[in-house]
Structure 1
């Protein structure tokens, strides 16, 4: 069962890592990207569920369960921020969706290398595209 769960986790993570930039590119081009958004949300949810189950099954990794839950909440919150027109959604959405994507990249790098430096590097590097997304969203508001 562990090998199957791991395979599902890796497959879902790969899908999320591929769908995230595709969704972003669609949005930048002005497309709704609803199917890409839905795919990304499903992939992140699957990563969170399988990651949480794997963490509980492996002694000493239970502390990763809140990380899995937070990753899923970031993705859902980012999707809802714009759709529900939350106050300051143009500031919140890039941080929420970007944070969910940073979590996927962090998981890939930490699992691949085992090096703890990869817990910090994606979060630092991820600030640049998040800032650019915020700037683009705020600029479009000023032009409207």
Structure 2
């Protein structure tokens, strides 16, 4: 049973890692990318559910349960922020969705390397793209400058 859940965890995690950039590129090209958004959210939910099963069945992994829950909260909240036009969503959405993706990358690196740097490197490397996304979202929302006639 554990092997099946672990295989599912790897498959949906890999899907999430592939879908995140695909969704971003599609949005940057002006496509609504609803299918990619739903697929990414499903992949994150799948990773979280499989991680929860693994954490509950292995006492050594129970500490990962809160990490999984936070990952799902970041992904869902990031998607809802824009869709519901929450105040300051342009500032929050890149951090929320970026955070969910950083969690996927961190999980991969920690599982593959076990190196302590793997816990910090994705977060540090994600800051410039998140800042750029925020800048672009705010630039799109900025009112056009008044040009005298």
Please name the residue that 1:73 is paired with. Answer: 73
Please name the residue that 1:140 is paired with. Answer: 140
Q: What is the RMSD computed on CA atoms of the aligned residues?
A: 0.9
CA distances 1:108-128 after superposition (whole Å, capped 9, x unpaired): 000001112101110111111
Please name the residue that 2:93 is paired with. Answer: 93
Please name the residue that 2:2 is paired with. Answer: 2
Please name the residue that 1:103 is paired with. Answer: 103
Please name the residue that 2:84 is paired with. Answer: 84
Secondary structure of 2:59's aligned partner: coil
User: What 5-or-longer segments of structure 1 have no aligned partner?
Assistant: none
Q: Distance in 2 between matches of 1:110 and 1:36?
A: 26
Please name the residue that 2:147 is paired with. Answer: none
Please name the residue that 1:129 is paired with. Answer: 129
TM-score (ref. length: structure 1): 0.97
Q: Distance in 2 between matches of 1:3 and 1:61?
A: 15
Number of aligned residues: 144
Q: 1:60 deviation in Å?
A: 2.1
Please name the residue that 1:26 is paired with. Answer: 26
Q: 1:143 deviation in Å?
A: 5.0
TM-score (ref. length: structure 2): 0.94
User: What 5-or-longer segments of structure 2 have no aligned partner?
Assistant: 145-149
CA distances 1:10-52 after superposition (whole Å, capped 9, x unpaired): 0000000000000000111111000000000000000001011
